[in-house]
């Protein structure tokens, strides 16, 4: 429900005699907790599985490309780890931009730049790994 954006659905159970329909409402608190785990699972197991080796190099690289698209599409549905607002689908300026935590613990959380006071350094060609405030605290990372 969190991924498809549906706020209400029916859970239909048939026990062989009668059908029971239960209204299920979207629980955003639960979803926020779940989203980070789902992201972790996807990146750690599904993504790794799809991108590791393969007999046919060509098909492996096509596959990798598709997976990368899927990953970036997925992050669009992620709530900011700070404010909980879902990350923008089309980022048009820096106020919508987001960054993900790359700590060893792989908390997998995404944050709005504005929520973590992040500004990219224009001098650098590629951004150094970024760690969320929680991971910085928990891992004693020295920045
Ligand atoms: Zn935010
Ligand atoms: Zn983190």
| Structure tokens, 5 | 């954006």
Angle, CA 124 vertex, CA 123 and CA 126 arms, to 5°? 155
**Is residue 18 scored above 70 in pLDDT?**
yes
Task: Classify residue 88 by its DSSP letter.
Answer: P
- If you measure from the C-alpha of residue 139 to the centroid of ligand 2, how many angstroms do you get, rounded to a whole number? 9
- If you measure from the C-alpha of residue 110 to the centroid of ligand 2, how many angstroms do you get, rounded to a whole number? 8
Overall number of domains in the chain: 1
Condensed to tens digits (0 to 9), the pLDDT of residues 103-119 reads 877 788 999 999 999 98
Q: How far apart are CA 137 and CA 97, in angstroms?
A: 23
In a domain, 106, yes or no: yes
Q: 89 lies in which domain range? A: 27-139
Reported as type and span, the H/E element at residue 126 is none
- If you measure from the C-alpha of residue 112 to the centroid of ligand 2, how many angstroms do you get, rounded to a whole number? 13
- If you measure from the C-alpha of residue 54 to the centroid of ligand 1, how many angstroms do you get, rounded to a whole number? 38
Helix, strand, coil percent values for the chain (each to nearest 5) = 35, 15, 50
The CATH number of the domain where 36 resides is what?
A: 3.30.40.10
In a domain, 96, yes or no: yes
- For residues 47-75, average pLDDT: 57
Comparing 77 with 134, the larger pLDDT belongs to 134
User: What pLDDT shows up at residue 61?
Assistant: 56
Task: Classify residue 45 by its DSSP letter.
Answer: I
In a domain, 60, yes or no: yes
- In terms of pTM, does the model score above 0.75? no
- If you measure from the C-alpha of residue 42 to the centroid of ligand 2, how many angstroms do you get, rounded to a whole number? 16
Angle, CA 93 vertex, CA 133 and CA 86 arms, to 5°? 55
Look at the block and give the residue holding tokens 């891992």.
139
Ligand nearest the Cα atom of residue 111: 1
- For residues 47-52, average pLDDT: 72
């Amino acid at each position: 429900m969190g991924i498809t954006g549906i706020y209400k659905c029916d859970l239909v159970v048939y026990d062989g005699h009668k059908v029971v329909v239960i209204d299920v409402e979207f629980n955003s608190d639960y979803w926020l907790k779940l989203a980070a785990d789902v992201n972790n699972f996807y990146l750690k197991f599904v993504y790794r599985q799809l991108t590791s080796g393969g007999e046919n190099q060509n098909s492996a690289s096509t596959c990798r490309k598709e997976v990368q698209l899927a990953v970036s599409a997925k992050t669009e549905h992620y709530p900011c780890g700070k404010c909980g607002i879902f990350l923008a689908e089309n980022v048009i300026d820096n106020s919508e931009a987001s960054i993900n935590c790359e700590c060893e613990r792989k908390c997998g959380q995404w944050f709005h730049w504005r929520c973590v006071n992040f500004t990219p350094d224009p001098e650098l060609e590629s951004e150094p790994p970024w760690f969320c405030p929680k991971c910085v605290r928990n891992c004693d990372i020295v920045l």
